[in-house]
Amino acid sequence: MKLAHLADLHLGFRQYHRQTPAGINQREADTAMAFRQAVDGIIAARPDVVIVAGDLFHSVRPTNAAIVFAFQQFQRLHAALPDAPVVLIAGNHDTPRSAETGNILRLFEEVGVHVASNEARRFVFPELELSVLAVPHEALAQAERPLLRPDGSARYEVLVAHGEVDGVFPSDRSTVEYGGAVVQPDEFGLGEWSYVAFGHYHVRTELGPRAWYAGALEYVSSNPWGELRDEAEKGVEGKAWLLIDLDSGRATPQPIIPARRVLDLPRLDGTALAAEELQAAIVARVAAVDGGITDRVIRLVVTGVPRHVARQLDHAVIRGWKAEALHFHLDLRPPSPTRSTGVGAPGRRQTLPELVESYLGQRALPAGVDREAFVREGVDLVASAERELAED
């Protein structure tokens, strides 16, 4: 018995300003191509069941083009694998904030997809001896959650859910999606299921025996550089969907060939470098990119760069790199402020990020808002704006 597990497609995702000749945002087109490639691979592998673990779309109001594309791909699956059920749950990006707002995912029931959009549903497929408990984001976000346990009704019992398994996500929260419902590992009976298919974390991660985050099919978060770092730390090579053998529990990644490479170049230390020396070092780093930077998504972090040095760089050359790449981000970071302490020591003016951190740390917040995440997001935005001003 084979199962295909994919998640976090984020169709309709848009980033940067480049468009295709057809007028579609290039990253939106890249994301669609990744899903089409996954469908091609699933049809070739011919699994017995297909699981989509949430965040089919990037927003609750996807574009018409994204809806039509998803409809076409599910039609392809149904036509090629008529006996393989497809189970789809809503992730946090698919879930409207208002209960009165309809969920677009119900549309796909018209092509035979089994959809759990707001409540947990148990789908039973007697001909496959299979039971699937489908738990969307909204069901996990409620105060009273459904019981995440197999009921013993089938030979193969599968749980599919969209949320944040506590203790799995990295400590650097900038690399993960906000808004996920937190689930404790003991809540879903790890080891009791034939397989547990989770969505929400974009980096492929094994949760335990027969339990995985499949990861996203493309770099569709606001911090692709963090995703790259997390993948390197976990020894994960790129994006994929998972082909699961429900009898042995073996999970085999099925790689997705990316439309373009996302690269975080090795950092440079600009401390004590004059503008000419720093410019030469940056040029050398860019020239060393294997295959060049054309149409790629690239970041280069340079630390220890005073504002007056940043202004003296050859920004015409930098603009040329930005035009050549799909996205080129030269992240110039100023030196860390010198802190002095002691009796009678002169006071130091706080930096703007420090002022923002102090203000947001004391501001009244609505119930349920994570203050630590709120403060960090504000500080990161201000620091990013300062770096962009320095670069310009």
Question: For residue 126, what pLDDT band results from cuts at 50, 70 and 90?
Answer: very high
Position 92, amino acid: N
**What distance in Å separates the CA atoms of residue 136 and residue 221, rounded to the nearest whole number?**
20
Structural domains of the chain ordered from first start: 2-255 (3.60.21.10), 262-391 (no CATH)
Residues making up the chain, counted from first to last: 392
Torsion angle, CA of 100/64/238/327, rounded to 10 degrees?
-110
Please determine, for residue 285, whether its predicted confidence score (pLDDT) is greater than 70: yes
Strand segments (E) across 265-356 = 268-269, 297-303, 327-332
| Helix runs in 46-63, H state only | none
What are the tens digits of pLDDT across the range 29-46? 999 999 999 999 999 999
% of residues, the chain, pLDDT over 70: 90
pLDDT in tens, 47-88: 999 999 999 999 999 989 999 999 999 999 999 999 999 999
pLDDT digits (tens, 9 = 90+) for 105-121: 999 999 999 999 999 99
Instruction: Please check whether residue 153 is in contact with residue 124, taking contact to mean a CB–CB distance below 8 angstroms.
Output: yes
- Please enumerate in sequence order all residues whose Cβ is within 8 A of that of 131, keeping only pairs 6 or more positions apart, or say none: 122, 123, 124, 125, 150, 151, 153, 154, 156, 157, 158
Closest CA to 377 of 174, 175, 189: 174
> What's the CA gap between 134 and 148, in Å, rounded?
10
- Threshold 0.75, pTM exceeds: yes
Instruction: Answer positive or negative: Cα dihedral of 358, 181, 16, 235.
Output: positive
Check: CB of residue 259 under 8 Å from CB of residue 34.
yes
Strand-pairing partners, residue 87, are 51, 114
